[in-house]
Chain A
């Protein structure tokens, strides 16, 4: 069965873990930009940074196409830097446009998340009572 046919059958009831995975994946762009807020990093460092700071475990292949696209959009720049012992690494940093975009994203994200949290309050309160 091809992916197209699967989609044509309409939305399938999604597993919660799959939903969470999609949610995380949807935030990859913002997360990648945010990891560079304090300075330049190379791909593997970005992956590690996201793991340690947000428990966002990405498949290693996910981040590179995203970085590539953010660069074509002018939000990131990159430079090859020779490591002391070893091979050159491609470092990414935010452009001014990237910084501005990230500021906008952070505002939009926070107001969205706050709204949703208010919406979910009754759900979580009830859970506390029953426990």
Chain B
């Protein structure tokens, strides 16, 4: 293969694996890598093939770009989708990543659960609440079919503000947990 072909094929693979990035970001990266290969070959007298080998496989290089961008964007984001995607990526890399991912899923589910219960109370007042029997909490939430037998509901409409506050707090806490773990993971780059 001629030098030019080797270079083109490397850049083509890189382009393909950088597909999730915007067109502008992608072309900028390709331009920079192409300039690097030319400079490095000229200055060190190495062949293009050797320089490409030093760069490592195009798939891996693209992966590092993608991970870096995903995580640095997510660590400033509030969107659950962006944050969960980044934690999922982290979970494929380390045990602590798996823990963060599981905690995030729990956090988001509980947070959303509280909010749903609060809204259910507004729409179907008799189906949402906290039921107590013999001094113990037996059920909390919103129920499609019937309510716990033999227990009585204690919160009434108070479940609306309580659910909203508990829900928002849980969601916020989860968001900050994820963002901080992402920041930490960036510092401990060897795991990425």
Contacts and interface: CB of A to CB of B under 8 A. Distances in A.
Interface of A: 3-4, 7-8, 10, 21-23, 25-26, 28-29, 42-44, 59-62, 64-66, 68-69, 72-73, 80, 86-90
Contacts of B188: 26
Contact of A26 (B68, B92, B189): B189
Contact of A65 (B36, B40, B61): B61
Given A44-B36, A60-B54, A22 B190 contact: yes
Interface string B48-64: 00010011100011001
Interface residues of B, number: 33
Interface of B: 28-29, 31-33, 35-36, 38-40, 43, 51, 54-56, 60-61, 64-65, 67-69, 72-73, 92-95, 186-190
A28 B189 contact: yes
Contacts of B93: 3, 7
Contact of B32 (A22, A23, A66, A90): A90
Given A68-B65, A68-B69, A89 B35 contact: yes
Given A26-B189, A68-B29, A90-B31, A61 B38 contact: no
Nearest to B42: A86
Given A64-B36, A64-B61, A65-B67, 16 more contacts: A8-B95, A21-B190, A26-B189, A29-B189, A44-B39, A44-B40, A44-B43, A59-B56, A61-B60, A65-B61, A65-B65, A66-B68, A69-B68, A72-B69, A72-B73, A90-B35
